Chains A and B, each alone.
Chain A
């Protein structure tokens, strides 16, 4: 390796710290937080509006409310009908998307720089003055119920909501996934109420990133969003912990025509703000977060059992899960799951080597600039994340030194702490007639047919 570095000394130091470009943060009198990140270049401007709450704010029996509300923002407002709004956005070559995740609703729109004012007018109209026409509500909800059928026809997509519902359970916000019944209960009045409660100054973050004129942008954004009622910030619930179950649990989802088994092996994890986040990212990348990771090396490269095997650490506002995810043809289900468990066990038993740790540090730092600070869109997302999770700019500016500071002992301690082999949760989706006996080997099995309504095993109706 050294001979290459010497030859390229002119290219500068290896992996110099990447830093966030200059930006401003201000709070309007009504509580709205504004960020401006100006960068000349591609003549586009990104508007990112973040509303705290997300599906955490959904009433327990109305899961999906925040998500439906987000989708409906553009489907009718004071100044435009749904059709007029779409004509305007498309006519400018713009984009407008609104989605809700576990902790927030995000409205993301992009326009040509020269259309800044029209873009801002469209975004603010949809965010602040939607009318939620009743026929649009009914159409959206009906389409979503049908989309669930489409999801259940696609095993690779369906396993995730089945796993979430089973692993977290209905007591945890991440275990409540919208289904036919919860959509069916959503009414216009609740959407209007949800919007009135959450889309208020104290609960809004507005981020403008890209090529724009800063003074004029600040003036117009302040004027538009400064007029919003202050309201009350959404009070996130106290952190729900994810206890390790008392025993191993297995959910078997039957899709009789499946020719391969999709599986998730889950255990309790962390929240985004955990002090363990940097070593944990390194450990997970080594275990299942890159091509040469331990799990992909074993299941794919060495044995050809699957096209892909990975692990993921959920990093939301609340404690989440750490999962192993893969799939294999039906008759190698047992072999593949056993192998995944062996790799998991060996991480704890053998630990990591100094060479592995050095490799993963270089890898995470090497790809970081392309994913985090390359585009205005990426930077806008980083700013949103900082605001949402209460982090500061050191999250980026000090990231490399935090990575460098992780010792082998720390990494191994984190590996042992989080990558355990006891009382795991298994979710298998495949041809149950052929893998039922395999499933039983891992623990007490609960079964559900994939095609039935709902995600939770008990809710078949």
Chain B
């Protein structure tokens, strides 16, 4: 268990540091390649370092909307042609947008590699902004919002909780955008967004699978390198002021069960406290032996209880989500949670429990390596959020270095009443019919 990547190298056919080759094109786009010929397929991921944090009031959600528009036609390949060509050649795709990044994910047989370069270069360099497609796609995005927020109690409460926890920084608004902004985005918003975020020098391309590096670089030079370099997005200047007191927000709507979300401000992914918080999230909620499972779920107070956080370029939030059992007062589940967080501050985590959490995290890393798409996402995520893909190869060391004293120090630093936001969905009593 001790040395994760060393044993991977011994295993002989898995990703090791020396299996990764990189080159940066003349226009600044970084290319990261891992050859793997086990199956005749390729995962090609484009990480654009632009997300909802780069937006402004009035055009929130435009990063995500733009992501959708990337499939609606460019100069050479018109509307529908990207998907049709891809599927006809055995490929499929998706994309995701977060606070920080917009990522395009292509999976296809290696026989379609050149086609994919041609189509990706076409939409990166010459996207069309067809007014008819914009209107139709607006409806699609609004439907996405209705599904994941308006008609999803967890999504709705999450949006409220984050908006309350961040009052100044752009993490305040949802990635999908506020409803009124969805209704109002203009062609100009889309063009400005493209101009700001889609410079080749603001992109990292990761290719894992049945390719060879020289072939990838030849195609990159042919198709991607001619796209001119431009200014990257301006820095996000607004920093979230220190929170100076507990915030409580309530969502009242018809529901059978309440939901609670408790959020604490924590630093960005590159902060040395980040791996400590990773281990804390594991101790709290990974597996049925975890502290929150035993104290909240097994004890019959809650249906579910989970805690954690995601990669972030700016200071972010550690979020705990609890769904109490029916008839259980949310004050009770909240009290149990706070006791567990206090315990992290007062009692050192026992050696065996710390060892367990590290084993869970390290095994979790192996699991991310099983597929070409998993490895493409891992490499791109480390490159963007940690500043260097090769930091993925030191992740085991960062996990191993965490001590019980680190956990106590970090828990004291962040899990304070002043630093938290408590959001609660309170089921509305049904109206009594006259």
Contacts and interface: CB of A to CB of B under 8 A. Distances in A.
Nearest to A93: B363
Contacts of B38: 374
A92 B363 CA distance: 9
B8 A42 contact: yes
Contacts of A302: 136
A370 to B, nearest CB: 5
A114 B370 CA distance: 18
A83 to B, nearest CB: 7
Contact of B110 (A8, A43, A306): A8
A86 B287 contact: yes
A304 interface: yes
Contacts of A271: none
Nearest to A157: B152
A91 B141 CA distance: 43
Given A5-B111, A139-B298, A365-B90, A304 B136 contact: yes
B257 interface: yes
Contacts of A18: 39-40
A420 interface: no
Interface stretch (A54-62, A143-151, A212-220): A143-151
Contact of A370 (B41, B143, B369): B41
B335 interface: no
A154 B304 CA distance: 15
Given A257-B254, A292-B84, A93 B360 contact: yes
B90 A366 contact: yes
Contact of B287 (A42, A89, A306, A369): A89
Interface string A439-459: 000000000000100000000
Interface string A38-78: 00111110000000000000000000000000000010000
Contacts of A112: 1, 363, 366
Interface stretch (A9-17, A190-198, A200-208): A9-17
Contacts of A211: 11
B143 A91 contact: no
Interface stretch (B112-120, B310-318, B337-345, B380-388): B112-120
A160 to B, nearest CB: 15
B369 A42 contact: yes
A4 B112 CA distance: 7
Nearest to B15: A42
A328 B84 CA distance: 24
B151 A155 contact: yes
Contacts of A451: 256, 430
Contacts of A94: 363
A258 interface: yes
Given A40-B13, A86-B289, A93-B359, A11 B140 contact: no
Contacts of B91: 363, 366-367
B137 interface: yes
Contacts of A291: 83, 87, 92-93
A4 B114 contact: yes
B364 interface: yes
A229 interface: no
Given A15-B111, A150-B256, A302-B136, A359 B87 contact: yes
Contacts of B363: 44, 92-94, 112
Given A42-B14, A91-B355, A11 B111 contact: yes
Contact of B87 (A11, A87, A363): A363
Interface in B100-129: 107-115, 118
B330 to A, nearest CB: 14
Given A42-B369, A43-B366, A86-B287, A15 B90 contact: yes
A304 B90 contact: no
Contact of B90 (A110, A152, A303, A367): A367
A303 B363 CA distance: 45
A1 B115 contact: yes
B254 A256 contact: yes
Contact of A87 (B93, B112, B297, B356): B356
B115 A304 contact: no
B220 interface: no
Interface in B34-60: 38-41
Given A86-B287, A156-B152, A304 B135 contact: yes
A5 B430 CA distance: 63
Give the contact-size bracket for chain B: 35 or more
A274 interface: no
Given A329-B146, A362-B90, A370-B372, A83 B289 contact: yes
A397 interface: no
A96 B369 CA distance: 19
Interface residues of A, number: 78
Q: Which of the listed residues B14, B253, B298 has the most CB atoms from chain A within 10 Å of its own CB?
A: B298
Contacts of B80: 292, 297, 301
B23 interface: no
Given A11-B113, A363-B90, A369 B40 contact: yes
Nearest to B359: A93
A432 B114 CA distance: 51
A343 to B, nearest CB: 16
B40 A153 contact: no
Interface in B341-366: 352, 355-356, 359-364, 366
B192 interface: no
Contacts of A377: 370
A44 to B, nearest CB: 6
Nearest to A149: B256
Contacts of A7: 114
Contact of A74 (B138, B288, B352): B288
Interface string B284-313: 001111100010011010010000000000
A172 interface: no
A149 B257 contact: yes
A307 interface: yes
Contacts of B325: 142-143, 146
Contact of A42 (B118, B210, B370, B430): B370
Nearest to A286: B87
A147 B358 CA distance: 31
Contacts of B151: 154-156, 258-260
Contacts of A290: 87, 92
Given A304-B135, A365-B90, A83 B11 contact: no
Given A303-B139, A366-B109, A146 B326 contact: yes
A327 interface: yes
What are the 9 closest A-B residue pairs judged by CB atoms, nearest first? A366-B90, A304-B139, A93-B363, A93-B359, A90-B287, A86-B289, A149-B256, A304-B136, A86-B288
16 contacts: A4-B115, A11-B111, A12-B40, A14-B109, A42-B14, A82-B298, A89-B287, A93-B361, A93-B364, A146-B257, A146-B303, A301-B80, A304-B135, A304-B139, A306-B140, A363-B87
Interface of B: 1, 7-8, 11-14, 38-41, 80, 83-85, 87-93, 107-115, 118, 135-144, 146-147, 150-153, 210, 253-257, 286-290, 294, 297-298, 300, 303, 323, 325-326, 352, 355-356, 359-364, 366-367, 369-373, 430
Given A18-B40, A42-B370, A93-B364, 13 more contacts: A5-B111, A43-B11, A90-B356, A91-B359, A149-B326, A259-B146, A301-B136, A305-B139, A307-B143, A328-B143, A363-B92, A374-B39, A451-B430
